[in-house]
Chain A
């Protein structure tokens, strides 16, 4: 069939969207690259100027940067990993027919639709060492004798914020995987039943391969979002105590907040590079599988 060429019309129609993307994404991103090569500290406006790779050298020597980067890896691996596992379990449950399923589906979305700032404040009080409900429950169950200052101790603060981000992200995986599950043809399971396949065989031979693309895309999205997430940690701990819950994105935020935009830009570009190292092979693998 002959396909009519649109001439300049498609470009014209795309122009407003492109202009917006250019204005709010591309220009600030390019600006961040330029800033990373400058001493750009608004507290010292007279010193703003080009300094070559000095910011990069300083970041490489900054032990706090490396600690925050390592913590970001843990943050993403444990945060996204458990979100995926629990989200998958929830999706499988919600895919079954049972009474009140609609209500359960709606309730399970609450963590996802709650703003991150509110989640941070809410969990901050849940974990509170003096008045927190978690301590109250643990003490009533005789699991602990004294309240634990979860967010004030360096050994408990990071696991505490990881649990919070897991809680927040489970519904996202559940929702996306549930949509995927509903697209898996029932005939496949019927055929497997006839062939005598057990539950695990059906899960690993039918369910998981059918959801492969959904799993790839949702996991990649969550890796990027969680790595860049600031709101939950910032509102719970600000990255403390003693930087024990500071991920790289929180460090960038704190530096930018203290107006050292050159240094913050350098770290954010390095975080982008790290995320690209994960995203590019991931996407390449996805497309390769699709082509196959």
Chain B
């Protein structure tokens, strides 16, 4: 009797293991034929704060209630973690899991495309009524990112980096808003002050980001001296790096700068520890909430050249998605529909939809204006198969060594060149 019982238990366990591993294959249905069965779409996204998170959930609910094809989007949030989001997404997708659609950064495109994980969107976009509501050059940028003539990425919104500043501190230090790169460096010096008279610096001119993600504001310094991102070893690019190092060495940035990331630069700026910092419009609502009128912005000023980083956020559809038509309805809703309007109003991101751009809320926003001013010289880092590692590991560690004086600007730039371009 005992043996039979044990055998039965083992059999059940084995059966459970086998059936647990079996993929559910009875969930698919096709769009076009509106059925009672909902078409489930799983969407991954990241959010910079709880308000954005709640907004995305609301957008998904609105879409679920308003679409007439019984599409049900389940929006699942994953942390950005300085780019760790893309790695999580890749791991999930390579393992056969992950979502049907996901919020996206262009830098990830070559990796996912090389592994055949993304759906080609050209045929969907060509048939789409709202195709022309998005600037055609944006589609070209999407193609360039994928390194082919096909579009794998659906535009969503952009974030142009600019300089946040505290008008009250500028007034106290008698500093005008910089209009040239040299003036910007000078402002960093003048705004670094001992305001309490105890002989210690309590306000730093600039909130430098030395951790992951810091390469974006850093790029503006390289262009400021006439360099560019195609060759870090030129005299001009090295001079830009030297400026960056000097800001740290001379104490115009907080001593924590080598490891300061997004949270630290924002906290330092809001607390009054820094007078300027560089970020995009995504953080503007939080800034205004904390500082009221005592926060404003200006485009990173021109030196020998002018450049600022264009943060981009898009959406993609995965090749494994069973209902690509339904998935496209969703990403289209985010790109030009009510989803675009709601998301950009909440986050303050620059819309890609021309209709939404023309709305008064966007035309009257001072941070939006600065973003739009920066658009003509905004760019992205070269998208190579080395870019992800370069951004997450090589840039922060090499720059930290240069800031600490363990490497000269030239040595650091050679290392950065090797890390990104291989030579």
Contacts and interface: CB of A to CB of B under 8 A. Distances in A.
Nearest to A258: B389
Interface string B356-396: 00000000000000000000000000000110110011001
B259 A13 contact: no
Given A240-B396, A242-B406, A43 B259 contact: no
Given A241-B401, A258-B392, A259-B388, 20 more contacts: A9-B3, A9-B6, A12-B10, A43-B385, A44-B385, A45-B115, A46-B114, A147-B255, A149-B255, A149-B256, A154-B406, A239-B397, A241-B397, A241-B404, A242-B400, A254-B393, A257-B84, A257-B392, A258-B389, A259-B87
B138 interface: no
B17 interface: yes
A152 interface: yes
A7 to B, nearest CB: 10
A152 B255 CA distance: 7
Interface stretch (A81-89, A94-102, A127-135, A186-194): A127-135
B212 interface: yes
A241 B210 contact: yes
A154 B406 CA distance: 10
B114 A15 contact: no
Contacts, number: 109
Contact of A258 (B94, B257, B393): B393
Nearest to A154: B404
18 contacts: A16-B10, A16-B13, A42-B90, A45-B115, A130-B271, A152-B210, A153-B255, A153-B404, A154-B404, A154-B406, A237-B259, A240-B259, A242-B400, A243-B397, A257-B87, A258-B388, A258-B393, A260-B389
Contacts of B260: 152
A234 to B, nearest CB: 10
Interface string B102-128: 000000001100110000000000000
Interface in B214-261: 254-260
> Top 9 closest A-B pairs, CB basis?
A241-B400, A258-B389, A242-B401, A129-B256, A43-B385, A242-B400, A149-B256, A241-B258, A149-B255
B258 A152 contact: yes
A130 B268 contact: yes
B342 interface: no
B22 interface: no
B209 to A, nearest CB: 12
B13 A241 contact: no
Interface in A7-47: 9, 12-13, 15-16, 19, 42-46
A91 interface: no
Contacts of A152: 210, 255-260, 400
A238 interface: yes
B14 interface: yes
B312 interface: no
Contact of A242 (B271, B388, B397): B397
Contacts of B77: none
Contacts of B403: 241
B390 to A, nearest CB: 9
A151 interface: yes
A146 B200 contact: yes
B14 A16 contact: yes
Interface string B302-322: 000000000000000000000
B267 interface: yes
Contacts of B280: none
A242 B404 contact: yes
Interface of B: prevailing SS: helix
Nearest to A64: B397
B273 A130 contact: yes
Interface in A147-166: 147, 149, 151-154
Contacts of B110: 43
A237 B13 CA distance: 43
A204 B396 CA distance: 49
Contacts of B393: 238-239, 254, 258
Contact of A43 (B114, B258, B397, B406): B114
Nearest to B7: A12
Contacts of B386: 43
Interface string B15-49: 00100000000000000000000000000000000
Contacts of B259: 149, 151-152, 237, 240-241
Contacts of B388: 43, 258-259
Interface in A111-141: 128-131
B264 interface: yes
Among A13, A19, A238, the one with the most B-chain Cβ atoms within 10 Å of its Cβ is A238
Nearest to A235: B81
B396 A128 contact: no
Interface string A207-245: 000000000000000000000000000000111111100
Contacts of A243: 397
Contact of A42 (B111, B255, B264, B271): B111
Given A9-B3, A238-B212, A242-B401, A42 B94 contact: yes
Contacts of A128: 256, 264
Interface string A43-87: 111100000000000000000000000000000000000000000
B256 A130 contact: yes
Interface in A231-277: 237-243, 254, 257-260
Contacts of A259: 87, 90, 111, 388
Contacts of B90: 42, 259
Choose among A128, A131, A258 the residue with the greatest number of B CB atoms under 10 Å from its CB.
A258
Nearest to A20: B17
Contacts of B397: 239-243
Contacts of A238: 211-212, 393, 396
Contacts of A254: 392-393
Interface in B393-418: 393, 396-398, 400-401, 403-404, 406
A130 B7 CA distance: 63
Nearest to A145: B200
Nearest to A46: B114
Contacts of A145: 200
Question: Quick one: which of A12, A128, A131, A259 has the most chain B CB within 10 A?
Answer: A259
A152 B403 CA distance: 10
A114 B305 CA distance: 50
B201 to A, nearest CB: 9
Contacts of B254: 129-130, 149
B265 to A, nearest CB: 10
